[in-house]
Amino acid sequence: MSRGPIEPGSSADGPRPAGRSTLRDVAKLAGVSIATASKALNNQPQVRAETRAKVIQAAEALSFSPNTLAQGLITQRSGTVGLLTSDLEGRFSIPILMGAEDAFGSDQTSVFLCDARGDNLRERHHLRALLSRRVDGLIVVGARPDARPSLGELPVPVIYAYSPSDNPADLSLVTDNVGGGRLAVDHLIRHGRRRIAHITGDPSYGAAQDRARGALDRLAQEGLPLAGDQVWFGAWSEAWGRGATRMLLQRDPGIDAIFAGSDEIARGVLDVLHQEKLAVPAQVAVIGFDNWNILAVNARPPLTTIDMNLEELGRLAAQRLFAAIDGTLGSGIETIGPRLITRESTAPLD
Amino acid sequence: MSRGPIEPGSSADGPRPAGRSTLRDVAKLAGVSIATASKALNNQPQVRAETRAKVIQAAEALSFSPNTLAQGLITQRSGTVGLLTSDLEGRFSIPILMGAEDAFGSDQTSVFLCDARGDNLRERHHLRALLSRRVDGLIVVGARPDARPSLGELPVPVIYAYSPSDNPADLSLVTDNVGGGRLAVDHLIRHGRRRIAHITGDPSYGAAQDRARGALDRLAQEGLPLAGDQVWFGAWSEAWGRGATRMLLQRDPGIDAIFAGSDEIARGVLDVLHQEKLAVPAQVAVIGFDNWNILAVNARPPLTTIDMNLEELGRLAAQRLFAAIDGTLGSGIETIGPRLITRESTAPLD
DNA sequence: CGGAAGACCGAAAAGGTTTTCAGGAACGTA
DNA sequence: TACGTTCCTGAAAACCTTTTCGGTCTTCCG
């Protein structure tokens, strides 16, 4: 590893590792001024084609790459954004992050990733650091889909993704859980199911409430009752999926479909249905929520599920942020529509 | 959102959003020179306590935060590192990332996250961008635990994590898969199991080979044969876990333990064992690999498994990088020991 | 041939900070 | 009083790039 100071003048030591020559070196090698070198490399018009070629050649010979820090200092734009998440290990931040990374072409914008781990203090800390780094904008991804405290007035635009800000003056992008619930039940109804039950997670989650609401909406629209007499709220775990399914079957053995509030729960549901020798999807259809691949694809049978389009959400957040950086930022809550992923756990009844 | 140019001079407009006042403003308000202000805020000794207090107070009044870009320009150190991963959605990058984030206190160092998605071109691209941003170092996380091409000579230190570099002159940090295999079998043996089989994933993965080797080692040491007559290589999926278990039970119905090469496979194994009414762990113990929480904890029964200590690996990578930034970098391959996570799927035989 | 227009190029300022070095004030000593 | 110390403070250079603006050179027209 050749590190340490390298004399910029000594150009006779062969191809050196990229990244440490300056514009001055390039200019000197090309026999022009620094100003001209800059203009040549940035496709400014006031430079002769021949001169430009000389400069470009010199830049390549030195494998010059401009110092983004210095550029940022002048242009007052760092070309970076901060992504402040609260649960990195959670499966929600990651797709959003990927979408965002995707939307900022890597040429223009790089992403600082910061995980606050749900600690408020750590969040303030990260925020300070990011502002100090002069990020051009911020995307805040919460840990759960309920409102979170606003960061308040900042010198850069902020977009809240997944968890909306509690301040309606901020711009938040969230998934449409009501729509997702509706979509799930709609799918079951279209495939001939009539006795549909709903098992879901922690009732303190807005998402659980919303999905249930969407499901009930769609049932009501069709004039169908909810099978099992109630929404089975509990926990976001396979164990609860198993437990609830057992209780549900006791209460109402004749169900022909179960809408699970998450893929985890759906796995538990499937487990008990197998045990009870109820064929899926022939006798009972099962639909999950989240499209968490590892769970949904590996299920037996593979799980039909609702995908919240988190990547799309990330992409959109990036776009909105980009637009806001040199325009003005909107406000309010924008929702992203969910998407049905059809696999084998639901199928038309004969 | 109040954005756009804010006059730095106009200080009478109340508490303004943090982040846009400069050292000059602070100096002016405190009635000292820029140089003195800088020294006061950086705890340089050559400034009177009284003056320092004045400066600090002024800085707080303006909610001054130093421009890191400018600092980096001078100190030749940006306080950033790049984390170049190849599979963000993969479960391996994330814990490593968290460990790294953890080790760099957020005060000092921020992390640029870049996902190349297995595309070589995109990787070069990201690399250019990161060098242009003058990152102080680089951590490269591969997609699978086999050797990957070195990035070559770069002007900053590089650490390869998870996937070692193919150039022994680079420093690579990897998990000890042989040790993991040995640890798994050791655990089973200690708990009285004698007829131990091994079902694992894609044989083209070095990790699969290594884990198998570790397992066989430990068996040989004990003078035990491998139950099932062979290592069952296949795919890293539940489906293969199920299929292999069925074949295995046909070949050798008397096994009392199965070591699965991943938690995914282990889930498949458990599934079939239930179906065949073989009690876990009473009749057959099952141990997985990866400690992928969502799979291991939710399993029935919860899965004993091997944790590769990826967070620790990330932390260590960060430490090594940090040390390398102003020292010189080591080389070769360093391994991180795995850790046994005991849950209910293994238990002593009576 | 004189002059104007146009095409290129370079000097210099700016961006915000750190650091060096020289100067000034206060103080003690001869 | 004159001088040497010790402490503080401030001017200025440096980091690397972009951009403005003035200057030089060529070319073309009258």
Q: Return the CATH number at B95.
A: 3.40.50.2300
Tens of pLDDT along chain A (350 residues)? 333 333 333 333 333 444 589 999 999 999 999 999 999 999 988 899 999 999 999 999 999 999 999 999 999 999 999 999 987 777 888 899 889 988 987 678 999 999 998 889 999 999 999 999 999 999 999 988 899 999 999 999 999 999 999 999 999 999 999 999 999 999 999 999 999 999 999 999 999 999 999 999 999 999 999 999 999 999 999 999 999 999 999 999 999 999 999 999 999 999 999 999 999 999 999 999 999 999 999 999 999 999 999 999 999 999 999 999 878 888 999 999 999 999 999 986 65
Q: What's the rounded mean pLDDT across residues B275-284?
A: 94
Q: B184 and B298 share a domain?
A: yes
Confidence of residue B350 (pLDDT cuts 50, 70, 90): low
Q: Give me B227's structure tokens.
A: 């139950």
Picking from A134, A158, A268, the nearest residue to B67 by CB comes out as A134
Q: How far is the CA of A47 from the C1' of D30 (A)?
A: 30
Q: How many CB pairs under 8 A join A and B?
A: 184
Q: B183 and B292 share a domain?
A: yes
Q: B37 and B182 share a domain?
A: no
Give the nucleotide with minimal C1' distance to the Cα of A69. Answer: D16
Q: B88 and B151 share a domain?
A: yes
Answer yes or no: is B27 within a domain: yes
Residue ranges of alpha helices (H) inside chain A are 23-30, 34-41, 49-61, 68-75, 93-103, 120-132, 177-190, 206-222, 238-251, 263-275, 293-296, 310-325
Residue B88 to residue A66, Cβ atoms within 8 A: no
Element (H, E) at B240: helix B238-251
Answer yes or no: is A127 within a domain: yes
Q: Tens digit of pLDDT for each residue in B322-332?
A: 999 878 888 99
Give residue B107's domain range: 79-175+310-337
Q: B274 and B196 share a domain?
A: yes
Confidence of residue B10 (pLDDT cuts 50, 70, 90): very low
> Is A68 an interface residue toward B (CB < 8 Å)?
yes
Residue B186 has pLDDT above 90, yes or no: yes
Answer yes or no: is B10 within a domain: no
Torsional class of A322: left (φ above 0), alpha (ψ -120 to 50), beta (otherwise): alpha
DSSP B321: H
Distance CA A340, CA A290 (A): 10
Q: Tens digit of pLDDT for each residue in B85-129?
A: 987 777 888 889 889 988 887 678 999 999 998 889 999 999 999
Q: A170 and A317 share a domain?
A: yes
> Is A264 an interface residue toward B (CB < 8 Å)?
yes
Residue B98 to residue A111, Cβ atoms within 8 A: no
How far is the CA of B52 from the CAs of A132, A309, B11, B15, B48, in angstroms?
21, 52, 21, 22, 6
Residue B98 to residue A115, Cβ atoms within 8 A: yes
Answer yes or no: is B18 within a domain: no
Distance CA A55, CA A40 (A): 7
Q: B205 and B239 share a domain?
A: yes
Answer yes or no: is A346 within a domain: no
Q: Tens digit of pLDDT for each residue in B97-106?
A: 889 988 887 6
Distance CA A184, CA B310 (A): 37
Residue B78 to residue A69, Cβ atoms within 8 A: yes
Query: How far from chain centre, in Å, is Cα A165?
Result: 16
Answer yes or no: is B141 within a domain: yes
Q: B213 and B225 share a domain?
A: yes
Query: How far from chain centre, in Å, is Cα A205?
Result: 19
How far is the CA of B218 from the CAs of A44, B59, B194, B286, in angstroms?
68, 63, 12, 17
Strand C atom within 7 Å of B38 CB? yes
Residue A1 to residue B153, Cβ atoms within 8 A: yes
Distance CA A17, CA B11 (A): 47
Answer yes or no: is A18 within a domain: no
Q: B46 and B133 share a domain?
A: no
DSSP B185: H
Q: Are residues A55 and A30 in contact, defined by beta-carbon separation less than 8 angstroms?
A: yes
* Smallest CA–CA distance from B107 into chain A, residue: A129
Nearest to A112 by CA among A97, A99, A102: A97
Which nucleotides along chain D are within 7 A of a protein C-beta?
A: 7-12, 14-21
Strand C atom within 7 Å of A26 CB? no
Distance CA A172, CA A60 (A): 44
Tell which B residues from 151 to 180 touch A, by Cβ distance under 8 Å: 153-157, 169
Strand D atom within 7 Å of A71 CB? yes
Query: How far from chain centre, in Å, is Cα B41?
Result: 35
Long-range contact list for A42-50, CB < 8 A, 24+ apart?
Answer: none
Nearest to B340 by CA among B161, B170, B218, B233: B218
Q: A133 and A202 share a domain?
A: no
Counting the structural domains of chain B, the total is 3
Q: A151 and A130 share a domain?
A: yes
How far is the CA of B31 from the CAs of A145, A269, B24, B27, B40, in angstroms?
49, 71, 10, 6, 13
Q: Are residues B174 and B164 in contact, defined by beta-carbon separation less than 8 angstroms?
A: yes
Answer yes or no: is B200 within a domain: yes
Tell which A residues from 71 to 100 touch B, by Cβ distance under 8 Å: 72-73, 78, 80, 83, 88-89, 94-95, 97-98
